[in-house]
Structure 1
Amino acid sequence: MTAQDRINAYWTDRAPSYDEYVQRPDRLAANQRAWSAIWAEALPAAPLDVLDVGTGTGQAAMILAGLGHRVTGIDLSEGMLAQARRHAAAMANGPVIQHGDAVHPGFPAASFDAVVSRYVMWTLREPETAVANWVRLLRPGGTIAVVDSTWFPHGLDNATENFADHYNSHVQAMLPLATATSIDQTAAVLEQAGLAEVTVTPLASIFELDRQFGAAPNHDHQMQYLVTGRI
C-alpha cells in the first residue's frame, strides 16, 4: 500500500462512525447555523462555483450548497464518498460528489471561484503542491478557505486516537502539517502559494459548541481556525 492508500483505508474504516458524530441530532441544528455563518463570511456571496477538496462525508459541501453555491466535492476515500453521496442525494441542488485527489484535482484551470477544505490540511501530503494546484483552479479574484487546527502537536504516536495501523512512520513523514504546533504553519503554505490577504480567524462559535456538547471522540477541546487567502 502507498501512503495515500493507508490514509484512504483509515478514513473508509472511520466513515460510518465519523458521519454518525457529524449528524448527532442534539448538535446538528446548532452546527449547521454556526458553519453556515462561517462559510458565508469566508466566501463572497452565492452563487459561486466551489470545489471542496477532501470532502469526507460532505459536511462542508452540504452547508455551502445550502448557501446557494454550486459545489463539487472530491475525496479518495470510498467510504467517505459513500456517506457524502447519500447526503447529497437527499438534498435539492445538493453538491456533486466525485472521486478525486485533493493534491492533484483533475479540473481545468480557472474552473472555480473558490476552493475550500475542512480538516484536510493536517493529513495532506505535499500541501505546498496541493495549494499551488488549487490556485491554478481559481478564477481571477478567487478565494481559498481552509478550516483546521493543531490537532496533534505532540505527534500522532501520542494521540488518543488510534492511528497505528494506517498512519505509520512512513505516512507521517509525508504529512508536514500533521504535527503542526501553530496554525501559522498552515497560513504560511497559503502565503507561499502567492495568495494575498491571508487571514487566520479563530472559530469561537465552534469552540463554544465543543464546550457545550463535547469535542469529537478522542479529541481535546481546542480552538479551530479558518485560514483564507485570495488571488
Structure 2
Amino acid sequence: MSAVQDNVDAYWTGRAPSYDDYQQRPERLALDQAAWSAVLAAALPAAPADVLDLGTGSGYVALLLAALGHDVTATDLSEGMLERARVHAASAERAPDFRRGDAVAPDFADASFDAITNRYLMWTLREPERALAAWHRLLRPGGVLAVVDSTWFPDGLDRDTTEDFVRLYDAGVRDALPLAAAESIDATRELVVAAGFRDVTVTPLTSILELDRAHGVAPDHEVRLQFLVRGLRP
C-alpha cells in the first residue's frame, strides 16, 4: 500500500491495548453502548442488513451493529486492533466477521452491502476520494453510508505530543491525510457529496457530547462535538 499506511497501522497497533481498554471501562460501558446503539439504529436500514464496517479498530461499532441484528463484515489493517476485536467476538452472541482489509480499496464485489459504516476513520484516511468512490460501488441502490467523526485537530496535529504519534504521524503522513486537520465537518460532507451520494445530512451527536462532558474523555484528548455524516447511494 504505502509507507503512509504502514505508519498509521503501526501507530494504531501500538495504541490498541490502551485504546480498547478505555472503550471498555466499566463505569461508562453500558451508557456508551446504549447511546451508540441508538445513533446507529436510527442511521441504518432495519435489521437484518448486510453491513460493512471499515477501519473497525477493536470492533466497537461492528459488535454493536451485530447485536442490533445486522450481518456485519468488519475490516482493519492494524493487526493489533484486529486481535482485540477477535477477542471480543469470541464472547459475543452474534459476532461480526473480522478480516484484515484496506478501507481505501475494500476487496468485495460491487453492490455487496446495504450499509457501510465507520467511526473515527475519516480524519486518518489517505485518499478519501478514492475510498468514497469504492464505498459507493460496494453499496446496493438505496444503500446507506454512515460515518462518524469530528474535527479532532483543527489547530493542527502538533497538539498531540506523545512520542509514538510524533514519530509515526510524521510530515509525510500528515501531508497524505487531507481531513486530519479539518476545521469543520463540512470538509467530510463535501467529499461525500462529491462522491455521488444523495440526501447527505450532518447530525451533531449531542447524546455522545453529554456523556463526554459528564464522564470525561481519554487522556490528552479534548471534549469535542462529534457528527454523523449520512448519505444514500442512488
What is the TM-score with the length of structure 1 in the denominator?
Answer: 0.98
- Opposite residue 123 of structure 1, the aligned amino acid is T
Deviation at 1:160, TM superposition (A): 5.2
Q: Report if the CA contact (8 A) 1:160-1:219 is conserved.
A: no
String of CA shifts for 1:63-108, please: whole Å, max 9, x gaps: 1001000001100000000001111111122101000000000000
- Rounded Cα–Cα distance in structure 1 between residues aligned with 2:159 and 2:94: 42
Structure 1 residue runs of 4 or more that deviate by more than 4 Å after TM superposition: none
1:74-113 map, 5 Å: 74-113=75-114
String of CA shifts for 1:26-85, please: whole Å, max 9, x gaps: 000000000000000111110000000000000000110010000011000000000011
Matched, 1:186 2:184: no
1:198 is aligned, of 178, 197, 200, to: 200
1:137 corresponds in structure 2 to 138
Gapped runs of 5+ residues in structure 1? none
- Opposite residue 177 of structure 1, the aligned amino acid is L
Matched, 1:35 2:36: yes
Deviation at 1:136, TM superposition (A): 0.4
String of CA shifts for 1:104-143, please: whole Å, max 9, x gaps: 0000001100110000000000001101100100011101
2:49 corresponds in structure 1 to 48
2:172 is aligned, of 170, 173, 177, to: 170
- Rounded Cα–Cα distance in structure 1 between residues aligned with 2:65 and 2:121: 17
- Opposite residue 195 of structure 2, the aligned amino acid is A
Distance 1:34 1:161, change over 3 A: farther
Which is further off, 128-137 or 215-224? Answer: 215-224
Q: Report if the CA contact (8 A) 2:45-2:114 is conserved.
A: no
**Two-structure CA RMSD over aligned residues (Å):** 0.9
- Rounded Cα–Cα distance in structure 2 between residues aligned with 1:53 and 1:30: 24
String of CA shifts for 1:168-191, please: whole Å, max 9, x gaps: 000000000000000000011100
Deviation at 1:159, TM superposition (A): 2.7
- Opposite residue 24 of structure 2, the aligned amino acid is Q
Q: Report if the CA contact (8 A) 1:160-1:218 is conserved.
A: no
- Rounded Cα–Cα distance in structure 1 between residues aligned with 2:48 and 2:159: 43
1:221 is aligned, of 214, 223, 226, to: 223
Deviation at 1:165, TM superposition (A): 1.0
1:207-218 map, 5 Å: 207-218=209-220
> How many equivalent pairs are there?
231
Partner of 1:50: helix, strand, or coil? strand
Deviation at 1:161, TM superposition (A): 4.8
2:115 corresponds in structure 1 to 114
- Rounded Cα–Cα distance in structure 2 between residues aligned with 1:144 and 1:218: 30
- Opposite residue 4 of structure 2, the aligned amino acid is A
